Amino acid sequence: MTPERKQQWSWAFYDWANSAFATTVLVGLFPIFFNSYYAKGVEPGTATFYLGAFGNSLPSFIVMLMAPWLGVIADKRGIKKKLLALFTVIGCSGTAGLMFVGEGQWGWAIALFAIAGIGFFGGLGFNDALLVNVAREEERDRVSALGYGLGYLGGGLLFVLNVTMVQKPEWFGLANAAEAGKWAFVSVAVWWALFSLPMFLNVKEPPPQTQGAMGWGALWQTVKQIKNHKPVYMFLLAYWLYIDAVGTVANMAVDFGIKLGFEPGALIKALLIVQFVSFPAAIVFGRIGEKFGAKRGLYLGISVYIGVTIWALSMRTEQDFYMMAVAVGLVQGGVQSLSRSYFASLIPKASAGQFFGFYNMLGKFAAVLGPLVVGSVAALTGNPNQALFALVVFFVAGMLLLSRVQPDHS
């Protein structure tokens, strides 16, 4: 393996490492254990508020405020890897700490979950920014897709193990599901830390910028750069719209299934389908980006999402839900990975940290509008099918704005 390929695989394995948190903790087990164990005795509506406001929204808001500013510091001082290591330690520590939280101790559980979330979301921008250093422009679609593909595979494999631990604790010598859940969180922390090592050992740190302002002055300069660089701000507007809808489909799919009366086992099965279909599909999208261009690949992925939201109007059975999971899995990783590589092709390499800080800030801000629209439509119509269909507006508008992005170079 050449030194360049070694760096690319090492970089991609960080997605394999931290995706365990996204699947097992963020989406999979923590929301279930919070309601049934950590917040036992708390009124269900109140528990949902605590989880949404303090567990999910607060860390996202904190990272949204920090990301652009820390991106500037990372570029100027050449410390992307050091900051990524710091947030990795924060994330792993918060996740492992859940082992020591007892039944009914919802405050400690939420605090550690939020700390872990800050570690997870806070590190994404630095990992993304390193893409421009490990891959040449013509390689970025493939390498970005490799990262997302490995992320879906690794996160899915550990999630299968963790779900098995919870469902069959006696197989692992554990007393009950609660003890199994705690050990599942520890396994995520160990997995995250262990598989992050190739990144820190093998990926080279980009040199620091020796000129220019620091702190808020540099941040304002980046804002002006984005404002004066039409391809960048047009893409960011498009990305904000369609990635909002992509995230909403992922985050609201379980709630959608519950409203249609599906069993919990069916929902877990659908989540696993998305994980394992996304692994090869993301790799294929990387090749599509290489051969036909990232923008064409994004058109394809967004078009499939438009079809899914239209199809949602007539979705009724668990079989339909599984088919929807397959369709989403075919394009979810592709849209995410090609968005990352296409944005990397639009920005100055030396300022990747600060530009990806804004990119990830928009990703966090995008988590607000889509769920609000879906929830509002569901409340007004009482129809979950129509609620998911409302996202078609985001996808269509995002695609139209994307069509207006004209890079300065081919």
Tell me the HSE value of 381 on the side-chain side, using a 13 A CA sphere: 15
CATH code for the structural domain at 3-197+214-402:
1.20.1250.20
Quote the pLDDT of residue 382. Answer: 78
Cβ 147 vs Cβ 337: under 8 Å: yes
Q: How far is residue 112's CA from residue 48's CA, in Å, rounded to a whole number?
A: 16
Quote the pLDDT of residue 410. Answer: 38
Please, which residues have CB within 8 angstroms of residue 156's CB and are 6 or more apart in sequence? 23, 272, 275, 276, 279
Q: How far is residue 258's CA from residue 256's CA, in Å, rounded to a whole number?
A: 5
What are the extents of the domains in the chain? 3-197+214-402
Quote the pLDDT of residue 363. Answer: 74
Q: Give the end-to-end CA distance of the chain in Å, rounded to a whole number.
A: 30
- Where does residue 288 fall: left (phi above 0), alpha (psi -120 to 50 degrees), or beta otherwise? alpha
Residue type, 82: K
Quote the pLDDT of residue 365. Answer: 67
Q: How far is residue 304's CA from residue 90's CA, in Å, rounded to a whole number?
A: 37
Q: How far is CA 83 from CA 21, 56, 196, 353, in A?
A: 18, 22, 13, 11
Provide the angle, in degrees to the nearest 10, between the axes of the packed helices 230-259 and 294-311: 30
Quote the pLDDT of residue 120. Answer: 94
- Token code pair at residue 262: 């599906």
Burial class for 178, CB neighbours closer than 10 Å (0-12, 13-18, 19+): middle
SS3 label, residue 403: coil
Quote the pLDDT of residue 58. Answer: 83
Ranges of the chain with pLDDT below 70: 209-219, 254-255, 364-368, 408-410
Q: How far is residue 9's CA from residue 146's CA, in Å, rounded to a whole number?
A: 8
pTM to 2 decimals? 0.85
SS3 label, residue 409: coil
Quote the pLDDT of residue 131. Answer: 93
Cβ 387 vs Cβ 155: under 8 Å: no
